[in-house]
Amino acid sequence: MTFSIPHATFLPDFLAARADEKPDLPCWVFGDRTWSWAEAWESVRRTAGALAAEGVGRGDRVAILDKNNPAVVQILLGGCQIGAATTVVNWRLAGDELDYVLNDCGAEVVFVGYQLLDQLAMVRDRLEHVRRIIVVGGQDDELEAWIAAGTPTDRRPDVTPEDICVVMYSSGTTGRPKGVQLSQHAMVEHSVNGLGETTYAEGDMLMIAMPMFHVGGTSYALLGPVVGAPGYIVPEVDGALLAGAMMAGCTHVFLVPAVVTALIAAGPQVMGLFGKLKAFGYGAAPMPLPVLRAAMEAWPDTEFQQVYGMTEFGGVITVLTNDAHRDASHPERLVSAGRPVQHAEMKIVDPTTLEEAPTGSSGEVWFRTPQATSGYLGKPEATAELITADGWVRTGDLGRVDEDGFLFIEDRMKDMIITGGENVYSPEVERVLAEHPAVAEIAIIGVPDDRWGESVKAVVAFRPERSATAEELIAFARERLAGYKVPSSIDVVEALPRNPSGKILKRDLRKPYWADNQRQV
C-alpha cells in the first residue's frame, strides 16, 4: 500500500481527516458537480444539524430511497454525528416490500430521489412512522436547501462507537427481509480490514457503481476517505455510465461478475477501455472461470481481488488477492474465496455436532470478528440463531478450508439464490406465488445461468381443478416482486419431492441442473 490510513474511532473520522489533510482536492464527483474534501465534510456536519432540527436523535432511524448519490453518504455520516442510523432502501422493491422495510426500520424522515417519487407515493398511506419526506434531485430538489440551512454539528458527546449507524435489509428465510444493524465500530473495522492488498496512490479514483442499498455499494463508497481517493459516483450500473466513468479517469472499481460478462460480450474495444483499471474487485456471486480467465487475459496489468462476505459483516470477510489470482502453481485457488481479512477468525463447523471440522472437511462456515453485526433489528430470536453466545456468526454457507487457509464455498444451507449479484431468498418468491389460486405447492430454486450466474426457477404443482401458464405465473409474480426476484422459468410437476418429515427436497430439484458444475452455487 502506498497510502496511510487515518486513525478513526467513529466512521466520519476518516472524512474529517482528509478534509484537514487536503481540503481543496476532489472527494466526490457526481454528474457535472465535484465536492472537495472540505465541502464534503461541511455538508456532512450541516446534514447532522439539519437532522437534529427535524427531531432526529441518538437511536433514531432515517431512510433514503434513491439511486447512487452523494446524498447517501452525506445522510449516513451526518446521522453518525448525532447517533442516528440510516437505512438505504432498495429502490427496486415493489408494493408491500417497500412499505414493509420503511415500517420495520421505523424511519421518521425519508429522503427520496425525484425519479422514485411515484413509487413512494403508492405506499405513502401505509407508512406508519414517516413524518417528513425530502426530495433529492430534479427540479423539485429539497435536499440542497435543507442541508444548507443546517447548523454545522460536531459529534454529540453521548454518541458511542457501538451506536448503530446503518440498517441494511437482507432477506431471510421467513420470507421477509431482516434489518441488519451495523455499528460505527463495526463499519470502521470493515473499512480498514477489507482493504486486502490493493494499492492506492495520489491521483487514483474509485468508481462507485454497485447499488448503495447493498453493503457492497455503501461500503465501497465509504472506502474513499479511508484511502484518500475521490469517488466517482455512478447512479446505476449502465454501460454508457460505466464507460463515462472510465473516461473520467477511474482507476479502481468493484463490480459483480454479471457486469464483467456483459463487458466481455461488448467486445475488445470496451474491454480495452476497462483495461486501464489499476485494480478490479469483484464479489457478491461466484465468477464463472471462463469469464475470470478472459478478464485476466484482457487486463494483464490490473490487480484482481475477489471478496466474499455478508451484509452481517458490513461486506467483506475473506479476500482472494491478486497474487493468488495469478499463482500458476495453484490454479485451483481461482475458485476459492480467499483467506479471512485481518481481525477475523474462521472455522468450519459440522452442522450436526457443532464441532469444528478437520482441515479439508466440509461444514458450515463461521466467523468471529469485530466488524460483525450487532444483530437484526427487532428480531432477537433471529439474532440468537445467527450469533453464538461466544460471538461466532453462522454464515449458512457450506465450505471447506485447505491446508493453506483458503476457503472454498461449496453450497448453501439457506435457500438463497444469487442472480447478477442480487440476493434472492426462495421463501420470498414462494410466499408470493403460493397466493396464486392455481398453485398447490411451489419451490423456488437457483439454476445455472451463463450471464447472471444463477437464475430463478419455480417448480410448481397445480391444484387438481386449476392450472396456469408459465407466462401467467411470471406476470403474477412481476406485479408483486422486484424484477430480479421474478422466476425466469417454470417447471410443472405432479408433486414436489419431500423427505419423510415433509420437507421439500430442494437439493433433488437442483441436482439435474447443477450436475455438470463443480460448485452448487
Alpha-helical segments (H) within 106-202 = 117-121, 143-148, 184-193
Which pLDDT score, from 0 to 100, does residue 172 have? 47
Cell 443546517: give the residue: 150
Q: Which domains does the chain have, with CATH numbers?
A: 11-191 (3.40.50.980), 194-341 (3.40.50.12780), 344-412 (2.30.38.10), 416-514 (3.30.300.30)
- Global pTM value: 0.84
The residue type of 36 is: S
Pairing of strands 132-136, 345-349: unpaired
Sheet strand arrangement including 206-208: 33-36, 26-30, 231-233, 206-208, 252-255, 279-283, 303-310, 315-320, 339-340
Q: What is the DSSP letter of 452?
A: T
DSSP-derived 3-state class of residue 44: helix
Which pLDDT score, from 0 to 100, does residue 418 have? 84
Which pLDDT score, from 0 to 100, does residue 173 have? 41
Q: What is the DSSP letter of 108?
A: S
Q: Distance (Å, rounded) from C-alpha 329 to C-alpha 347?
A: 25
Are 468 and 475 in contact, with CB atoms under 8 Å apart?
no
Which pLDDT score, from 0 to 100, does residue 174 have? 47
Per-residue three-class SS string for 195-234: CCCCCCCCCCCEEECCCCCCHHHHHHHHHHHHHCCCEEEC
pLDDT tens per residue, range 97-143: 899 999 999 999 999 999 999 999 999 999 999 999 999 999 999 99
Which pLDDT score, from 0 to 100, does residue 502 have? 58
What's the grid cell of residue 364? 458450515
Q: Distance (Å, rounded) from C-alpha 66 to C-alpha 64?
A: 6
Q: Where are the beta strands (DSSP E) in 377-521?
A: 393-401, 407-412, 416-419, 422-425, 439-449, 453-462, 489-492
Pairing of strands 164-170, 178-183: antiparallel
> Between vectors from CA 133 to CA 131 and to CA 138, what angle results, nearest 5°?
170
Give burial (CB, 10 Å; 0-12/13-18/19+) of 269.
exposed
- The candidate with the shortest Cα–Cα distance to 490, out of 508, 511, 507, 467, is 467
Which pLDDT score, from 0 to 100, does residue 2 have? 54
* pLDDT beneath 70: ranges in the chain: 1-2, 171-175, 414-415, 499-503, 517-521
